[in-house]
């Protein structure tokens, strides 16, 4: 009995259930059914009403003619005789208004009827009989005639004309029609249809006609609920026909009760019809139409799954065009699948799941798989089935929630279906989480938000850690962005954290790493220099393209390339358009090269070097400033180019200096020596080793000086140039066998004016040979030669040894930038015979050469 009562409640759509949630998982528990419609335990398929206090009908209707419908309706559709025969031939009644068509106004498909023909109605009386005081005894006659007259009075609300009454009396007495068939004709004919009765009125007439009494409130509500669930009126009429009360009335008048078949699908299983109508009401916002109800009821009865029908309704254009919010969707799902309103805990739980980014089909699938819906389908005898979830976002709630978290943090919106499916698919296929995040940060939608650096950091914390940034972290990473690195630089650091790794491990996704391809992200010190230059020269923050272009040049760690790149900024229209005076020009350039604003004294000192304030002199001033101590103190450590160190002093010597007391040279603070290895003696046709080369190398190294070598070239041809280099390297290799190593470059000294046309080709050839044979090359010449004769673009990357002779190197800088400055050709050094050349080195060659793997240094 319990299951049949539950089924009745499901039909009525009033089953009350409570939804409990434990640890985030819904547990559906059915509550005790309330008052309502009940069914006999012997038959649960027809859902026929019985008394709540008398669940098994006694069958003795004559003894209880006045029992209310809710307490005296019994049996079920299966106990009804739906197979009553109808005669194949019937008489046509005389012209009157009694219906002879079985088409019901509440049904879209005709029921079987004794006759399919119709006759014209005879004119109706102009007067209407007054309704008798007792509607239950309106017919004055007894027997069959009394039964027919009673139908005219109660159903048509008029007395029957003689011909009509006679016709129906003859039909019943001849056995061609049963009482049920005649009543079916009366209630489905055109005359009754013109009354346009409401369901309430219709049921009232049924009670009076079929039960000989007024409807009681409970019974009326019960049958109204059936009709509201969209069974046809013939279903209710049929249920009244087989009630004991009507059987008693038929016995009273001596007529055969009989039956009539129900042909519409919606009348075969009211539980299924109620389920389908609930879909119409909650998805379409309207009751189901007869055609639709019959179609879906038929499919469900034939085994189509409830899940597929739910899927169709919830994904139909009529439903999706409503554009329900997630909350309203959840509430609609509760009403539709459970037949009840959503409890607060339930809809809050499912709303959180839906808001995480899964599809609405995911929610439907969970409802379909719930015990509450399983129980309802079992009671109704419906094949429940299930939904196949094909979208990537429905395959792993954790990953979908993570991707949706990224959308909320980065784009300030929930993820769209395409985006969620695409990105969750990538993560499910083991693409890294950081690659997804970096792609979103590079998207025009994010870039177009033009967020501040601080806001970008806040967003990264929300995206990666799903939390707000702590104050110290926010300050630190905002500062990094202010120094010019890209957001990806910060992302690479945050993405390498243990916190992010743990979160990814929990989700089963790959954290990955960021490959930084932009020049500004390669070295924060280099980026600092570039950003400082933009602020000093253009009074603005560097744009990304300009910053990357400048950083690319600064990363070469070549002083000449570095200085040329910075100088190029001063020739840009943006800078020249500022029309700075001499003082402001010096201030801007000094700040660019030295990393700080100059003092007033420094500005005055450098401005005095401008003999005329023009572009040429400004360029000369710029390059002079690059050789200043403040410049090297700033650029040297940041860019890895030689720092200014006055103690790194050296000499260069040849056979002209004869024997040298190297101990005395070292005692005066000289730390390196460039020793001539090859020259060409007057009249010689081939290069030769300097006769003092080996002696000078041994002596200098014994005194603790670092040594390099230079080749004084007379070459006019590639062959002679190659011979010079070969002779020199052979001599170097010979002394290396004694254990000596060269911590300074092997330089080509190209300065013979009469060979100037060959300088470029000789330099390019010989420097390349030196490099290819494992030694560190360097080019020596005069400053004017570098300015006017050599192709410096072709020689870019080679260190320069610049001859620019001045009287006071402490206050003067060389006129062309180089790694070694030969500032005098007439130096006086104790221990050296005659005058010798004096030099300053700006580079830690021993370190550079060792790191380059040259000169056999280890």
DSSP secondary structure string for all residues of 202-261: HHHHHIIIIISSPPPHHHHHHHHHHHHTT--HHHHHHHHHTSHHHHHHHHHHT-------
Angstrom distance (rounded) from CA 613 to CA 628: 20
pLDDT class of 681 with cuts at 50, 70, 90: low
How much is the pLDDT for 842?
84
Mean pLDDT of 194-222: 96
Mean pLDDT of 1-28: 30
Structural contact between residues 647 and 668, judged by C-beta atoms closer than 8 angstroms: no
Q: What are phi and psi of 247, to 5 degrees?
A: -60, -40
How much is the pLDDT for 53?
28
Q: Is the pLDDT of residue 490 over 80?
A: yes
Q: Is the pLDDT of residue 644 over 70?
A: no
Angstrom distance (rounded) from CA 756 to CA 363: 85
pLDDT class of 809 with cuts at 50, 70, 90: confident
Angstrom distance (rounded) from CA 378 to CA 48: 18
123 DSSP 8-state letter: P
Percent of the chain with pLDDT over 70: 82
How much is the pLDDT for 559?
75
How much is the pLDDT for 796?
87
CB-count exposure of residue 601 (10 Å: 0-12, 13-18, 19+): exposed
Q: Is the pLDDT of residue 848 over 80?
A: yes
Angstrom distance (rounded) from CA 823 to CA 798: 20
Q: Is the pLDDT of residue 642 over 80?
A: no
As beta bridge partners, residue 709 has 675, 746
Bridging pattern class, strands 649-653 and 670-679: parallel
Number of H helices, E strands in the chain: 40, 11
How much is the pLDDT for 560?
75
Structural contact between residues 280 and 292, judged by C-beta atoms closer than 8 angstroms: yes
Mean pLDDT of 215-240: 95
Structural contact between residues 29 and 17, judged by C-beta atoms closer than 8 angstroms: yes
CB-count exposure of residue 719 (10 Å: 0-12, 13-18, 19+): exposed
Of 105-114, 412-421, 512-521, 632-641, least confident by mean pLDDT is 105-114
Mean pLDDT of 365-378: 94
What's the whole-number average pLDDT of the chain?
83
Q: Give the list of residues 6+ apart from residue 604 with CB closer than 8 angstroms, or none.
A: none
Structural contact between residues 622 and 615, judged by C-beta atoms closer than 8 angstroms: no
Angstrom distance (rounded) from CA 524 to CA 493: 13
Angstrom distance (rounded) from CA 224 to CA 475: 70
Angstrom distance (rounded) from CA 704 to CA 448: 62
Angstrom distance (rounded) from CA 127 to CA 17: 56
Cα-atom radius of gyration of the chain, to the nearest Å?
52
Q: What are phi and psi of 766, to 5 degrees?
A: -70, -40
- Angle, helices 471-482 vs 487-495, to 10°: value is 140
Condensed to tens digits (0 to 9), the pLDDT of residues 688-747 reads: 999 999 999 999 999 999 999 999 999 999 999 999 999 999 999 999 999 999 999 999
Neighbours of 397 (CB within 10 A): 15
Q: Is the pLDDT of residue 462 over 90?
A: yes
pLDDT class of 557 with cuts at 50, 70, 90: confident
How much is the pLDDT for 810?
67
Structural contact between residues 15 and 26, judged by C-beta atoms closer than 8 angstroms: no
Quote helix, strand, coil % in the chain, to nearest 5.
50, 10, 40
Condensed to tens digits (0 to 9), the pLDDT of residues 33-82 reads: 222 222 222 232 322 222 222 232 223 222 222 222 322 333 333 333 33
Mean pLDDT of 561-579: 93
Mean pLDDT of 277-296: 93
- Higher-confidence residue of 212 and 124: namely 212
Structural contact between residues 398 and 503, judged by C-beta atoms closer than 8 angstroms: no
Mean pLDDT of 232-250: 96
Angstrom distance (rounded) from CA 702 to CA 660: 12
Mean pLDDT of 477-494: 95
Angstrom distance (rounded) from CA 542 to CA 559: 22
Q: Is the pLDDT of residue 567 over 70?
A: yes
Mean pLDDT of 289-308: 95
Angstrom distance (rounded) from CA 47 to CA 65: 23
Most confident of 45-54, 83-92, 282-291, 616-625: 282-291
How much is the pLDDT for 30?
29
Query: Using CA of residue 737, residue 738, residue 744, residue 746, what is the dihedral sign?
Result: negative
Q: How far is CA 191 from CA 102, 200, 210, 461, in A?
A: 12, 18, 19, 76
Q: Give the list of residues 6+ apart from residue 295 with CB closer than 8 angstroms, or none.
A: 265
As beta bridge partners, residue 801 has 780, 820
Mean pLDDT of 671-697: 90
Q: How far is CA 663 from CA 452, 655, 831, in A?
A: 63, 18, 8
pLDDT class of 607 with cuts at 50, 70, 90: confident
- Helix, strand, or coil here: 26? strand
Q: Is the pLDDT of residue 813 over 70?
A: yes
Of 8-12, 278-282, 561-565, least confident by mean pLDDT is 8-12
Mean pLDDT of 584-604: 93
Of 322, 300, 290, residue with least CA distance to 109 = 290
pLDDT class of 627 with cuts at 50, 70, 90: low
How much is the pLDDT for 647?
54
Q: How far is CA 185 from CA 116, 119, 402, in A?
A: 11, 13, 66
Angstrom distance (rounded) from CA 752 to CA 767: 17
- Higher-confidence residue of 630 and 745: namely 745
Angstrom distance (rounded) from CA 420 to CA 430: 15
């Amino acid at each position: 009995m319990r299951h049949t009562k539950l089924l009745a409640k499901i039909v009525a759509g009033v089953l009350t259930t409570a939804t409990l949630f434990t640890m985030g998982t819904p547990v559906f528990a059915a509550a005790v059914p309330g008052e309502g419609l009940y069914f006999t335990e012997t038959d649960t398929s027809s859902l026929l009403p019985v008394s709540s206090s008398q669940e098994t009908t006694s069958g003795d209707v004559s003894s209880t003619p006045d029992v209310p419908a809710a307490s005296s309706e019994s049996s079920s559709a299966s106990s009804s005789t739906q197979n009553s025969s109808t005669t194949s031939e019937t008489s046509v009644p005389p012209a009157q208004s009694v219906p002879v068509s079985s088409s019901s106004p509440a049904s879209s498909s005709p029921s079987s009827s004794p006759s399919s023909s119709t006759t014209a109605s005879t004119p109706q009386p102009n007067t209407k009989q007054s309704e008798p005081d007792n509607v239950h005894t309106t017919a004055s006659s007894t027997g069959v005639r009394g039964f027919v007259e009673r139908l005219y009075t109660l159903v048509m609300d008029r007395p029957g004309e003689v011909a009509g009454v006679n016709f129906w009396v003859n039909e019943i007495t001849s056995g061609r029609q049963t009482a049920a068939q005649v009543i079916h004709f009366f209630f489905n004919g055109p005359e009754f249809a013109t009354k346009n009765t409401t369901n309430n009125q219709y049921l009232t007439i049924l009670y009076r006609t079929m039960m000989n009494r007024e409807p009681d409130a409970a019974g009326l509500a019960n049958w109204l609920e059936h009709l509201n669930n969209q069974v046809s009126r013939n279903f209710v009429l049929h249920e009244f026909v087989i009630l004991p009360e009507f059987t008693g009335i038929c016995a009273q008048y001596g007529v055969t009760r009989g039956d009539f078949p129900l042909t519409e699908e919606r009348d075969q299983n009211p539980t299924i019809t109620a389920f389908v109508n609930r879909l119409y009401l909650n998805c379409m916002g309207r009751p189901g139409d007869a055609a639709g109800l019959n179609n879906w009821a038929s499919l469900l009865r034939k085994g189509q799954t409830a899940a597929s029908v739910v899927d169709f309704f919830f994904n139909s254009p009529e439903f999706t065009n409503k554009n329900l919010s997630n909350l309203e969707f959840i509430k609609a799902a509760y009403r539709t699948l459970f037949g009840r309103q959503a409890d607060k805990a339930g809809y809050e739980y499912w709303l959180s799941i839906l808001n995480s980014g899964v599809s609405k089909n995911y929610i439907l699938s969970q409802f379909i798989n719930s015990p509450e819906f399983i129980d309802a389908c079992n009671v109704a005898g419906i094949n429940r089935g299930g939904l196949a979830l094909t979208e990537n976002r429905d395959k792993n709630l954790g990953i979908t929630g993570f991707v949706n978290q990224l959308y909320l943090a980065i784009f300030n919106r929930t993820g769209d279906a395409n985006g969620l499916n695409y990105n969750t698919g990538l993560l499910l296929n083991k693409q890294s989480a950081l690659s997804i995040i970096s792609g979103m940060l590079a998207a025009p939608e994010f870039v177009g938000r033009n967020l501040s650096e601080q806001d970008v950091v806040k967003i990264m914390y929300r995206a990666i850690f799903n939390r707000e940034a702590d104050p110290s972290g926010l300050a630190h990473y905002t500062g990094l962005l202010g120094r010019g690195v890209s957001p990806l630089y910060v992302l690479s650091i945050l993405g390498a954290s243990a916190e992010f790794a743990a979160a990814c491990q929990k989700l089963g996704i790959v954290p990955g790493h960021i490959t930084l391809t932009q020049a500004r992200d390669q070295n924060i010190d280099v980026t600092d220099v570039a950003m400082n230059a933009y602020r000093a020269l253009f009074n603005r923050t560097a744009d990304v393209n300009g910053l990357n272009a400048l950083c690319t040049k600064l990363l070469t760690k070549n002083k000449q390339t570095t200085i040329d790149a910075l100088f190029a900024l001063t020739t840009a229209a943006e800078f020249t358009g500022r029309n700075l005076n001499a003082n402001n020009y010096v201030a801007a350039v000094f700040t660019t090269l030295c990393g700080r604003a100059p003092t007033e004294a420094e500005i005055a000192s450098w401005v005095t070097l401008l003999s005329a304030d023009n572009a040429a002199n400004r360029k000369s001033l710029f390059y002079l400033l690059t050789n200043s101590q403040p410049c090297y103190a700033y650029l040297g450590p940041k860019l890895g180019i030689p720092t200014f160190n006055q103690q790194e002093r050296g000499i260069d010597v040849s056979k002209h200096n004869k024997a040298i007391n190297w101990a005395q040279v070292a005692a005066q603070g000289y730390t390196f020596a460039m020793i001539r290895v090859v020259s060409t003696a007057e009249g010689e046709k081939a290069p030769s080793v300097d006769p003092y080369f080996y002696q000078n190398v041994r002596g200098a190294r014994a005194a603790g000086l670092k040594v390099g070598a230079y080749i004084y070239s007379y070459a006019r041809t590639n062959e002679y140039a190659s011979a010079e280099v070969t002779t020199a390297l052979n001599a170097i290799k010979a002394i290396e066998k004694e254990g000596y190593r060269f911590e300074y470059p092997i330089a080509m000294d190209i300065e013979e004016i009469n060979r100037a046309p060959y300088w470029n080709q000789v330099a390019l050839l010989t420097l390349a040979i030196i490099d290819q044979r494992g030694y560190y090359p360097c080019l020596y010449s005069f400053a004017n030669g570098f300015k006017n004769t050599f192709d410096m673009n072709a020689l870019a990357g080679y260190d320069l040894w610049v001859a620019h002779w001045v009287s006071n190197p402490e206050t003067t800088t060389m006129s062309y930038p180089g790694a070694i400055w030969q500032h005098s050709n007439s130096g006086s050094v104790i221990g050296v015979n005659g005058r010798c050349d004096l030099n300053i080195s700006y580079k830690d060659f021993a370190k550079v050469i060792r790191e380059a793997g040259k000169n056999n240094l280890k």
